[in-house]
Structures are given as C-alpha cells and as structure tokens.
C-alpha cells in the first residue's frame, strides 16, 4: 500500500474564493430598496455564497448533501460516553439509514440528500449496505491514550477516501456539503487534537460530550491528558498525528475538507469533530477555511477554541449538542434564504427607458415554503 501523500500539493492548489463575485453580490444587494444591513448576517452569507460559487447573481442552493463519516474509537472503552458503549456507532448508522435519526428527518424537511460513509465502524461489514461500507478502512481504532489509533498506512488510505469523496460529490453536482460524523468516543479524540493544535491542557478542552457526570468527566480528562502526551511529539506531521491520536474517520474528514476546497465545494462544519479536522487541514492549506462555515457552538470547550483559531463564527445558536450533522443541517435554511435573497428571479428585467427595479422581497412564509 502506498504510504505517501503530498500534502504540500494542497497548499498550492487551494485558492481563495472569488472576491470579484463577492463584490458584485454586494453591489447587487445595494440595488435592492431596503435598509443597509436590513437582512443582517444573511447579507454576509449571500456574499460568501457568491464568492464560493464564483457567480453573481448567486445561484440558489439546490443540491445540498449531508455527509456523515462513521467510525468507532477505542477510547470509548473507558466509558467516556454516557449514551453508548464502545462499538455502539452501528446503532447510530442504522438510525440514519432507516430515516429515524433527527438528521435524517431534518434533511428530508429541507430537501437535502444524506450519505453515510463507514470508514471504521466496529461492526461486521455485511451489517450495512454495500454503498455504506465501500470505503471502510478498518474496524474500530486503538485506545489513543496508550496506543496509536491506526497505522500511518491506514491514515493515508482514509485520507485518500476523503479526497475521493470530495471529487465524487463535486462531480455529482452537490453545491453545499453539511459535514457531520457518527462515532462513540469521538468528542474525546477531537478534544485531544484541538488541545494539541492549540497548545492547551486537557482540562481546557475536556467537555461533557454526551452529558457525562463529574466522575466520568475526570476519567475523560485523564484520557485526554495521556493522549496529549502522545500527540505533541508528532504535531509537525499531520498524517502521523491523525494516526497516533485521531482515527480513520478523522483522516477521511481531513482529506475531504482539503479536496473540497480544491474543488471549490463549500462545506458547513457541524461540531467538534469536523472542527478538529478543519484545524489539521488549515495547517496544510491556510486558505482552506475560507471555503467553510461553522454551524453552531455545542458547549464543547474544544469547539470554541477551534472556531477561534479558524476565525469562524457559528451561523446559529440553538444549543444543539448531539452532533451527527444536526447543527449543520439546521444551518441549511439560513444558507438557502441567503442565496434566495440575491437570486436572479428577485429582479425584473430593466426597461430601456427606466432604471432597473427590484421585485418585492419574498415574505418569511414564502421563503420557508421553498425549504
């Protein structure tokens, strides 16, 4: 198996979003007869969409996709998650696939597709459909407080899975990715990566995750502390870091984020897992965060630190804590509204003898009716 990957290539290939389209969108908005700043942060979102689409007028967000990377983590053996035991990710995958999970219900409501990618779920491969397991790298991962999560070869393979999926989604015509994860123990792993990358101690990044009590919080904090000792020596090598204290799902998400930026595919980050991967990707290509938006703060201290380092501001404040793509999916109607307020159909064609006049803005009820 090839164990090399040219990360420097991403730094060269990731370009900034189109600033000319951003300026054109702002100019276009000034043609509307409305108070300056009347649409609040929707105006900035509309300008961002214009820049990542490289187009003005902005195209409506019409082909969004919820993309969930799934994997189990050996650190869950310590009982750091209240809701599920180690190896419990399979049940979450089934809930998404059968349509009962909150993210599946919300995606249906807002017209988004849903795709689950099993990268390292600790379950028999025949338990899920073939299209879900087609990219599996391994079954589960090591306990990162005392051993590597995966090998470097597996980290490279998982990273390649992510880049391939970014290419695939771009070719399919997906115009916005709502990025999430499914994994027991994943917030502990994410806290380790954020703590290592931001130079903080375990207590500063250890959150309550699934709602753990004080006793389990102390167990989790100790696990993060021990894992940080293993992460710091390999901070200069992103793939080594993902192998030592990440996991196959984290490596795949990192690869996806980088290649999505290369392919000019905008992404909404869901929670601390995608944010931790975004921090790693930022170290590879400093322009990449301009292609992303943050969905929500979840109460995880590591997430707040990651967003601060990435200079990203959450799109909404609904206190969503469960992860699994829910926060990112709830940001979708905001982005759809931002694109709709600048779409071509808002304007009547200008008459030769008269100035161009905007049509009335749609009401809130009309906007919701399009979702």
**Do residues 230 and 219 lie in contact, with contact meaning Cβ atoms separated by under 8 Å?**
no
Three-state DSSP class for 55?
coil
Annotated catalytic residue: which of 43, 290, 300, 324? 324
Helix ranges (H only) for 135-237 are 152-172, 186-198, 202-205, 214-231
End-to-end alpha carbon distance in the chain: 45
Q: Which tokens is 141 given?
A: 């991962």
Query: From residue 214, how far is each of 80, 209, 335 by CA, in Å?
Result: 11, 12, 38
**Do residues 5 and 322 lie in contact, with contact meaning Cβ atoms separated by under 8 Å?**
no
Q: Whole-angstrom Cα distance, residue 341 to residue 305? A: 32
Q: Whole-angstrom Cα distance, residue 270 to residue 325? A: 6
Q: Which helix (H) or strand (E) holds 328?
A: helix 326-330
4: exposed, middle or buried (Cβ count in 10 Å: 0-12, 13-18, 19+): exposed
235: exposed, middle or buried (Cβ count in 10 Å: 0-12, 13-18, 19+): middle
- In sequence order, what are the beta bridge partners of 116? 68
Closest CA to 245 of 197, 181, 300, 178: 197
**What DSSP designation does 357 have?**
-
Q: Which tokens is 293 given?
A: 């938006």
**Do residues 275 and 294 lie in contact, with contact meaning Cβ atoms separated by under 8 Å?**
yes
Q: Which helix (H) or strand (E) holds 67?
A: strand 64-71
Q: Which tokens is 352 given?
A: 């030769």
* Strand duo 267-269 + 292-294: pairing: parallel
**Do residues 202 and 224 lie in contact, with contact meaning Cβ atoms separated by under 8 Å?**
yes
Q: Is 126 designated active site? A: no
Active site residues: 324
């Amino acid at each position: 198996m090839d164990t090399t990957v040219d990360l420097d290539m991403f730094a060269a290939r990731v370009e900034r979003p189109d600033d000319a389209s951003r300026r054109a969108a702002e100019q276009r908005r000034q043609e509307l007869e409305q108070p300056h700043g009347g649409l609040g942060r929707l105006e900035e979102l509309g300008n961002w969409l214009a820049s990542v689409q490289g187009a003005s007028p902005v195209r409506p967000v019409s082909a969004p996709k919820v993309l969930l990377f799934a994997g189990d983590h050996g650190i869950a053996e310590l009982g750091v998650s209240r809701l599920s035991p180690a190896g419990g990710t399979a049940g979450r995958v089934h809930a998404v696939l059968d349509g009962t999970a909150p993210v599946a219900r919300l995606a249906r409501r807002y017209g988004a597709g849903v795709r689950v990618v099993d990268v390292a779920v600790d379950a028999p491969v025949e338990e899920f459909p073939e299209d879900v397991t087609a990219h599996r790298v391994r079954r589960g991962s090591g306990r990162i407080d005392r051993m590597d999560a995966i090998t470097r070869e597996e980290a490279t393979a998982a990273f390649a899975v992510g880049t391939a999926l970014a290419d695939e989604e771009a070719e399919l015509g997906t115009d916005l990715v709502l990025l999430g994860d499914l994994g027991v123990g994943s917030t502990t792993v994410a806290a380790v990566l954020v703590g290592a990358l931001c130079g903080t101690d375990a207590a500063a990044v250890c959150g309550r995750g699934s709602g753990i009590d004080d006793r389990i919080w102390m167990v989790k904090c100790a696990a993060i502390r021990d894992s940080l000792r293993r992460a710091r020596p390999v901070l200069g090598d992103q793939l080594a870091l993902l192998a030592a204290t990440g996991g196959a799902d984290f490596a795949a998400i990192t690869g996806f984020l980088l290649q999505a930026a290369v392919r000019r595919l905008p992404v909404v980050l869901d929670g601390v897992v995608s944010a931790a991967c975004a921090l790693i990707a930022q170290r590879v290509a400093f322009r990449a965060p301009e292609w992303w938006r943050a969905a929500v703060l979840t109460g995880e201290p590591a997430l707040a630190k990651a967003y601060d380092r990435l200079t990203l501001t959450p799109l909404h404040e609904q206190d969503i804590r469960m992860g699994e793509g829910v926060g990112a999916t709830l940001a979708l109607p905001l982005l759809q509204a931002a694109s709709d307020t600048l779409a071509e159909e808002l304007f009547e064609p200008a008459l030769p003898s008269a100035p161009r006049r905007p049509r009335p803005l749609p009401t809130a009820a009309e906007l919701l009716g399009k979702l």
